[in-house]
Amino acid sequence: MPTWNSRGLRGSILEELLNKTNMKYLENNLALIQKIPTPITPIKIDKKTRHITLAYFEQKSTVDYIGVVQGIPVCFDAKECHTSTFPLANIHEHQVKFMESFEKQDGIAFFLIYYTMSDEFYYLSLRELKKFWDRAENGGRKSFRYDELNKKFFLRKESGLFVPYLDGIQKDLEDR
């Protein structure tokens, strides 16, 4: 069974930016997006700080966020990348299957990738991910490079929004 041990801050900055963006979208009646917590069972708790120091995951998580944007169901997962190469091992098969099922129900599924080296956000549609995923399954690269990505899906920062992913959704809808 997978366990978690002191890696709890990984991605917390990205999560905080997304949560603030989601609150702004809600305040402006543009979207209702919720963070989906990953259920864990604590094994060790620091008695002084009351922090969980060791736990195991009760089940596989599917996506980080789920909700609705102007009547369209959306789900997405957020990932950080510290280099110009994103390993597909950071995305799990059960996540891809969930997202495929989600899109079969007329939803939109995507990944938000934060490239920390360049302080950029990328909207990776499930369709684009599947090209890289299928390439890996057919014996090709098990990663994709920054320079392989479609430049129009890099999200431009806007005033008042930390991660303007609605722009990515709009471009995704236009491409369908």
Tally the domains of the chain.
1
Q: Is residue 57 part of a domain?
A: no
Question: Residue 115 maps to which CATH number?
Answer: 3.40.1350.10
Q: Taking the CB of residue 83, how many other CB atoms lie within 10 A of it? A: 12
Average pLDDT over residues 15-33: 95
pLDDT for 40 beyond 90? no
Identity (one letter) of the amino acid at 10?
A: R
Domain extent for 77: 12-37+63-175
From 3-7, 8-12, 104-108, 112-116, the region with the lowest mean pLDDT: 3-7
Contacts of 155 (CB under 8 A, 6+ apart): 120, 121, 122, 123, 163, 164, 165, 167, 168
User: What would the pLDDT profile of 108-138 be if each residue is shown by its tens digit?
Assistant: 999 999 999 999 999 999 999 999 999 999 9
pLDDT given at position 118: 93
Which of 91, 87, 92, 89 shows the shortest CA–CA distance to 143?
87
Q: Is residue 49 part of a domain?
A: no
CA pair distance 153, 79, nearest whole angstrom: 15
Q: Is residue 2 part of a domain?
A: no
Is 83 annotated to bind a ligand? Reply is no
pLDDT bracket for residue 42 (50, 70, 90): low
Q: Is residue 50 part of a domain?
A: no
Is 46 annotated to bind a ligand? Reply is no
pLDDT for 1 beyond 50? no
Q: Is residue 125 part of a domain?
A: yes
Q: Is residue 23 part of a domain?
A: yes
User: What would the pLDDT profile of 47-106 be if each residue is shown by its tens digit?
Assistant: 888 776 776 655 567 899 999 999 999 999 999 999 999 999 999 999 999 999 999 999
Q: Taking the CB of residue 39, how many other CB atoms lie within 10 A of it? A: 10
Is 77 annotated to bind a ligand? Reply is yes
Q: Is residue 145 part of a domain?
A: yes
Which of 69, 64, 70 shows the shortest CA–CA distance to 113?
64
pLDDT given at position 75: 98
Structure tokens, 131: 């090209």
pLDDT for 16 beyond 80? yes
Is 3 annotated to bind a ligand? Reply is no
Q: Is residue 56 part of a domain?
A: no
* pTM score, whole prediction: 0.83
